[in-house]
Structure 1
Amino acid sequence: MKETRSTCPYCGVGCGVIIESDGTQITGVRGDPDHPANFGKLCTKGATLHLTAAPGIARQTRLLRPMRRLQRGLAPVAVTWDAALDLAATEIGRIVRTHGPDAVGLYLSGQLLTEDYYIFNKLAKGLIGTNNVDTNSRLCMSSAVSGYKLTLGADAPPACYDDVNHAQCLFIVGSNAAYAHPILFRRIEAAKQQNPAMKVIVVDPRRTDTAELADLYLPLQPGTDVMLFHGLLHIMLWEGWTDAAYIAAHTSGFHELKALVRDYTPERVAQICGLKHDDLFQAAQWFATSAATLSLYCQGLNQSSSGTAKNATLINLHLATGQIGRPGAGPFSLTGQPNAMGGREVGGMANLLSAHRDLANPVHRAEVAALWGVPDVPSKPGKTAVEMFQAAADGEIKALWIVCTNPAQSMPDQALVRRALQRAEFVVVQEAYATAATCDFADLLLAATTWGEKEGTVTNSERRISRARAAVPPCGDARHDWRIAVDVARRLEGQLRPGQPSLFPYETPESIWNEHRESTRGRDLDITGLSYAMLESAGPQFWPLREGEPTGKARLYEDGVFPTADGKARFAALPWKPLAEPREARFPFSLTTGRLRDQWHGMTRTGTLGRLFGHVAEPAVQLNPQDMERRGLKDGDLVYVTSKRGSIVVPVQSSAALQPTQAYIAMHWGAEYLSGRNNKGEPLAGVNALTTSAHCPTSKQPELKHAAVQILKAELPWSLLGMAWLPDASALTVLGELRALMPDFEFAACVPFGRDRSGVLLRAAAHEPPAPGLIERIEGLLGLLTPDTLRYEDKRRQQRRSARLVRSGDESTLQAFLLAGDTRAEGWIKPLLQDALPAGRYGRLLLMPGAAPPVTAVAASPQVCTCFDVREDAIRAALLQCTGSEPHRLSELQSRLKCGTNCGSCLPELRRWVQTVPPIRVAA
């Protein structure tokens, strides 16, 4: 067995992993105890990485060779790499010559390695001659970038993870770190345990698991963050809690900001934000007077039409109180993706150039042109993500090259995105997974390598550069992203600059990285003192790390000098603006989106594992219990969730975490998992059919965190539920075939399940029964067309039920079932299959229509701990026996059941159980 040190491909924490492999197969993964980001810990997603790389999953989900679609609407066919690369270069070259370079757009990903990013940026801006190269980091971190540059002068988070251990006040705003950055949250929990006096303030409209750790929770109204931050500064000024000496010595622009916040009185702020007057004063006091205050923030600030203002006005608080440039103090944006920061470092966005240079700066353009050996870099601003797809929908952009991202799931306003993909003359999708929704729109599919196969570097949230290393060779005939880009670029050079030396002489990732390193010389992120050799010998390193320096800088601005013209940080006097789409009478709910604990983005990787659906099994929209009661809704009812852009049907679920008039749907549920059609017969495409492409005017980041929606009960009388255990070798293939049938229903959801076996579930509803033959097709996919299948059909009532039992030892268990037209029996039949309960005694009773079970069948309670499959009923029973203080009871619970002792992702939920389940009182 071989062991390879690498980096996790999920969130921006950047955890180190040790990959275990045997020949061409990854067999295991564990946290790297020597990596400074995680010290050996992994979350549920990272700990199951090896399972997502299993050969059986790869055969069913991976794109194993390049493929070409000869005609839209037809299935793609395999082609050779030479044919695929020639086609890409020919079509892009034709479009450039016919329509100009700006008729091409490249849309990249924060999951690419830095070396990949560098090549694509150079290909677009240096060879094709367009700045239309952007990335899904535009949906993630662009507001944080704009906020840093506007105030501190550079896109450089000034803090590091170790600051959590030095902070006396943590201000967590717009971040559910417990789900989005779980390993960093473990550090926060440990720091709080070590220092109970540390104050934790959590600001979020939704009471998330992160808020469970808070000493003070501020449930502000959506979109009112700028109002809150100005209000806190108003109080700080009134109470004398600002640092006048720091302001005078190290900042500019405070006079204008002071004049602005005069009108943000506590009374006004409390009313608009929906907060208590006393809580505002408490938050302001803790933030300003703490010995060290650290802010942690993420998409709640970034994904907003006021994203830059939210970020900048939070940084204002740090500058006004001198809470920056020392251990435990500073504004710290948490990066959403594993290498969003690396992409920014190489300038891989429409408004940036290499090494944090600005496209609008002619000196910066000249520096990059000289480095690349080209006459110039185009000065015309490029299209950012939303603008790029709008331009394609309008016919302005003719060719789209999409790399390692899934805009047909992740972009807002899916109707617009899909029009763009359909109208573009030539769509290239460079992808590792054939199951991504965007693959359905590709004229050319380029098979790319993925985690465990790639070589290069990534940069995490704290500016620490780590190596990603290959443990196994590429799967199938897949190639590395940088290699594909270089090969297309060389072919394009023959058309666009014939007879000239190649701009792309690279044969290794290290040769690319060395050029990138040189581009940083003298810049704020100077890494001229860093090398692959140093990363091998000394491990991950912070930037900047200049030539001659032994190590990088963990914290920035300790000397109070900032990368601005006068060396001073700048206050941003930006007024509060309402949401781009406020609630109104027709759309009375505020919809927000966010992460699930055990899933990642569009789930092309995590969605291959049934065990990661144990915590949240199916899509749902959550509402406050009062809103449910007022509308006569109960858990599981189907509702229409409708915005000005689209409508979806989804089950509703009660949640006390939400305030009245708020709604929540997880961001992961795209058309691959949640689909249907509207009353016009048009297909619906997951949660982002609802979200708005309205965006921040500075950062161009869309307001994915808020859309005004209407929620009405859906009367869909005909329903269907099908479930089956399937052979591992075919489960994901069957899942894909079932998903292809989902648009035939007004509502459909299709997900895997099963911890150690492969199961599939299809749920659907419609006004009328589906076309003849569709039910039989579903039965065939579920393995219900065998001679031993029990079957019942009532054509008059339009009902059909089938079930199949298999012998297992001395007992029979349910292998598959279908309830069509009447699903009332779900409550007792579903647990028979899902929990592998003895079912032989049921026989033909399985075909009964009623909801009452003929024999008691108790479903397993919801899962809390994914690592050890610990469920709510076991936790409740154990806690009844656990006595003492809350920390002692939690420790005893963990000792009894092992829950929370591995990755720790379930710890916030376990603490909630400890608080709500008292021990049994034994009489003396």
Structure 2
Amino acid sequence: MNMPTRQPDMMSEQLRQTTCPYCGVGCGVDISCNVSPRAITLDTVKGTPEHPANYGRLCVKGTNLLETNDVNGRLLHPTMAGQSVDWDTATDVIADKITSTIAQYGADAVAFYVSGQLLTEDYYIANKLMKGYIGSANIDTNSRLCMSSAVAAYKRAFGEDVVPCDYTDLECTDLLVITGSNAAWAHPVLFQRIQRAKLKNPNMKVIVVDPRKTETCTIADLHLPIKPGSDVALFNGLLSYANAQGRINKSIVESYAEGLDETLKSANALTLDDVAEVCDLDINSIKAFFDAFCEASSVITFYSMGVNQSSAGVDKAQAIINCHLAMDLIAKDGCGPFSITGQPNAMGGREVGGLANMLAAHMDLENPEHISAVKTYWNAPVMPKGQGLKAVDLFNAIESGKVKFVWIMGTNPVVSMPNRGQVERALSKCDMVVVSDIVESNDTLNYAHIALPASGWSEKDGTVTNSERRISRQRGILPPPGSAKHDWQILCEVAGKM
């Protein structure tokens, strides 16, 4: 008899397309994979040439994405008190604790603290469980730390959390004002697009407003080393100057905006000398900036954390928006106030209401009609009666004992929150801390009673929304290692047991 010859595993090279998980630019990436019936290995990563966020460009983080797939240091199994347990045991305990906490202390004793690292689908399930079934609005996100000022200013100005620009506007504007952002380091792919646009159009001007002289200043025609915290005075001074120069056409502005006269009245007290003193700037530089803004037919103001992360962040963003509204530099090509986010899916979280002060689809927790509409759509048995605890307030409430159970997903608040000592005290006092993460060790996991292994970027399948509100697919390519599960799956298992 002749023994049959064993056929080698058939190996094929395939291209898989997904989205970079690092920041809010939302770059498309092409992953070359070697696929056999037994395994998939990821070979190379490149930018997707046709993706409209990056057109093939990648930054250093994106080009090294594959290094994040090492399973060394991954959390591979659920743990309780540091000991491995099965999923049934872990989710039974979590479901029982949430249920008993609600019964004893009420729904507001339960909280979720989630992350811009989640996919929109994960965010949606977490928000629906907390608001529609637990009945509390105590779900907030680390996006609160970077985006809440921009959200509040957009809502104050436009009545809705909208972004009135896209990336192509950066490339067709006459004047680009970059303030509160070192884009060269924080958003290098967008910075490359700006560099290229400036090379193609020598008439394009770039003005950088930043206390520091950063790498971004290398493309600046003018750098204003503003005194930290004086942004409101600068942009209110610009508004006053524009009005004095006759740059504002009141009849046009009043056809689409309200409150112009009141806004001008509040800003008109600021002279060039006043602005120079408050902002600690040379008066000639200020006048050059004001003239450039008033004379340009199109202007983008590109702002980020240096504006948002401030006790006056909403007013800073509002002052920027006011200048665009008053000078009719909005809703046109190359025009508008453009808040650039930091996280990969902060926008997606906002779209499905993953914040303590909003509902899905940008609806409002203070509006009874909105609450009723979402409750009906979800077929929810209960809905919160008002806003929940925002990030800082949440950890204060944990420390004071008002919140007895917290589930932290995809973020490390011991490191990222502004008061580490207070967060550590809060978590050490909490009855139960559950943490979903991909790593087996970090500062927050040190306080976890239960740790749950979540899937990582190359294993997730869903959508993310970038800074220009473009929705992209993030495709799962590899199976989750060990017994790791997707965040939405874990939430659904706990919800089912409740």
TM value normalised by structure 2: 0.95
Q: Does 1:277 align with 2:293?
A: no
Match of 1:20 among 32, 57, 65: 32
Q: Does 1:29 align with 2:59?
A: no
Corresponding position of 2:4: none
Preserved contact between residue 133 and residue 383 of structure 2 (Cα < 8 Å)? no
Q: Could you say which structure has the larger radius of gyration?
A: 1
Q: Does 1:42 align with 2:58?
A: yes
Output the CA distance in 2 between the equivalents of 1:333 and 1:371: 31
Deviations 1:455-480 (A, max 9, x none): 00001111110000011110111000
**Structure 2: which amino acid aligns with 1:77?**
Q
Preserved contact between residue 64 and residue 476 of structure 1 (Cα < 8 Å)? yes
Match of 1:483 among 481, 485, 489: 489
Deviations 1:691-717 (A, max 9, x none): xxxxxxxxxxxxxxxxxxxxxxxxxxx
Corresponding position of 2:148: 142
Match of 2:191 among 185, 195, 199: 185
Query: Structure 2: which 5+ runs fail to align?
Result: 1-12
CA deviation after TM superposition for structure 1 residue 140, in Å: 1.2
Match of 1:230 among 236, 255, 267: 236
Question: Where do 1:430-579 residues align within 5 Å?
Answer: 430-492=436-498
Preserved contact between residue 134 and residue 382 of structure 2 (Cα < 8 Å)? no
Corresponding position of 2:336: 330
Corresponding position of 1:99: 105
Deviations 1:418-451 (A, max 9, x none): 1111010000000011232111110000000011
* Structure 2 residue matching 1:193: 3-state secondary structure: helix
Corresponding position of 1:406: 412
Corresponding position of 2:83: 77
Preserved contact between residue 358 and residue 387 of structure 2 (Cα < 8 Å)? no
Output the CA distance in 2 between the equivalents of 1:395 and 1:40: 50
* Structure 2 residue matching 1:358: 3-state secondary structure: coil
Preserved contact between residue 140 and residue 354 of structure 2 (Cα < 8 Å)? yes
Preserved contact between residue 253 and residue 328 of structure 2 (Cα < 8 Å)? yes
* Structure 1 residue matching 2:444: 3-state secondary structure: helix
* Structure 2 residue matching 1:117: 3-state secondary structure: helix
Corresponding position of 1:394: 400
Corresponding position of 1:308: 314
Deviations 1:173-222 (A, max 9, x none): 11111111110110000011011111111101111111221111111111
CA deviation after TM superposition for structure 1 residue 21, in Å: 2.9
Corresponding position of 1:3: 15
Q: Which has the higher helix share?
A: 2
Corresponding position of 2:8: none
* Structure 1 residue matching 2:255: 3-state secondary structure: helix
Preserved contact between residue 169 and residue 334 of structure 2 (Cα < 8 Å)? yes
CA deviation after TM superposition for structure 1 residue 385, in Å: 0.3
Output the CA distance in 2 between the equivalents of 1:259 and 1:39: 45
Match of 2:68 among 45, 52, 56: 52
CA deviation after TM superposition for structure 1 residue 243, in Å: 3.0
**Structure 2: which amino acid aligns with 1:481?**
D
* Structure 2 residue matching 1:25: 3-state secondary structure: strand
CA deviation after TM superposition for structure 1 residue 28, in Å: 2.3
Deviations 1:487-534 (A, max 9, x none): 111111xxxxxxxxxxxxxxxxxxxxxxxxxxxxxxxxxxxxxxxxxx
Preserved contact between residue 365 and residue 376 of structure 1 (Cα < 8 Å)? no
* Structure 2 residue matching 1:86: 3-state secondary structure: helix
Corresponding position of 1:122: 128
Q: Does 1:418 align with 2:427?
A: no
Question: Where do 1:855-894 residues align within 5 Å?
Answer: none
Corresponding position of 1:906: none
CA deviation after TM superposition for structure 1 residue 2, in Å: 2.8
Corresponding position of 1:131: 137
Preserved contact between residue 233 and residue 317 of structure 1 (Cα < 8 Å)? yes
Match of 2:212 among 206, 209, 212: 206
Output the CA distance in 1 between the equivalents of 2:448 and 2:249: 56
* Structure 2 residue matching 1:355: 3-state secondary structure: helix
Deviations 1:10-61 (A, max 9, x none): 110000011233324333211111211111110000000001213xxx22x1
Output the CA distance in 2 between the equivalents of 1:24 and 1:445: 27
* Structure 2 residue matching 1:252: 3-state secondary structure: coil
CA deviation after TM superposition for structure 1 residue 394, in Å: 0.9
Deviations 1:246-278 (A, max 9, x none): 312111101111111121121111111111111
* Structure 1 residue matching 2:143: 3-state secondary structure: helix
Corresponding position of 1:248: 254
Does the C-alpha gap of structure 1 residues 199 and 180 become closer, same or farther in structure 2, counting only changes over 3 Å? same
Output the CA distance in 2 between the equivalents of 1:243 and 1:162: 27
Output the CA distance in 2 between the equivalents of 1:95 and 1:375: 18
Corresponding position of 1:853: none
Corresponding position of 1:318: 324
**Structure 1: which amino acid aligns with 2:267?**
V
CA deviation after TM superposition for structure 1 residue 145, in Å: 0.6
**Structure 1: which amino acid aligns with 2:303?**
Y
Output the CA distance in 1 between the equivalents of 2:490 and 2:418: 28
Preserved contact between residue 23 and residue 343 of structure 2 (Cα < 8 Å)? yes
**Structure 2: which amino acid aligns with 1:305?**
S
Deviations 1:321-379 (A, max 9, x none): 11011110111111111110000000000000010001011110000000111244111
Deviations 1:203-246 (A, max 9, x none): 01111111221111111111111111111111111112223333
Output the CA distance in 1 between the equivalents of 2:161 and 2:190: 21
Corresponding position of 1:855: none
* Structure 2 residue matching 1:10: 3-state secondary structure: coil
Size of the alignment, in residue pairs? Answer: 482
Output the CA distance in 2 between the equivalents of 1:329 and 1:300: 21
Highest RCO, 1 vs 2 (Cα 8 Å, sep ≥ 6): 2
Corresponding position of 2:383: 377
Q: Percent identity?
A: 48
Q: Does 1:262 align with 2:268?
A: yes
Corresponding position of 1:879: none
**Structure 2: which amino acid aligns with 1:40?**
G
Preserved contact between residue 33 and residue 39 of structure 1 (Cα < 8 Å)? yes
Output the CA distance in 2 between the equivalents of 1:8 and 1:326: 29
Output the CA distance in 1 between the equivalents of 2:458 and 2:336: 35
Question: Where do 1:793-812 residues align within 5 Å?
Answer: none
CA RMSD of aligned residues (A): 1.0
Deviations 1:606-627 (A, max 9, x none): xxxxxxxxxxxxxxxxxxxxxx
Question: Where do 1:818-857 residues align within 5 Å?
Answer: none
TM value normalised by structure 1: 0.52
Corresponding position of 1:359: 365
Deviations 1:684-737 (A, max 9, x none): xxxxxxxxxxxxxxxxxxxxxxxxxxxxxxxxxxxxxxxxxxxxxxxxxxxxxx
Output the CA distance in 2 between the equivalents of 1:26 and 1:257: 56
**Structure 1: which amino acid aligns with 2:164?**
P
Preserved contact between residue 299 and residue 334 of structure 2 (Cα < 8 Å)? yes
Preserved contact between residue 20 and residue 28 of structure 2 (Cα < 8 Å)? yes
Output the CA distance in 2 between the equivalents of 1:334 and 1:243: 29
**Structure 2: which amino acid aligns with 1:35?**
H
Preserved contact between residue 19 and residue 452 of structure 1 (Cα < 8 Å)? no
* Structure 2 residue matching 1:3: 3-state secondary structure: strand
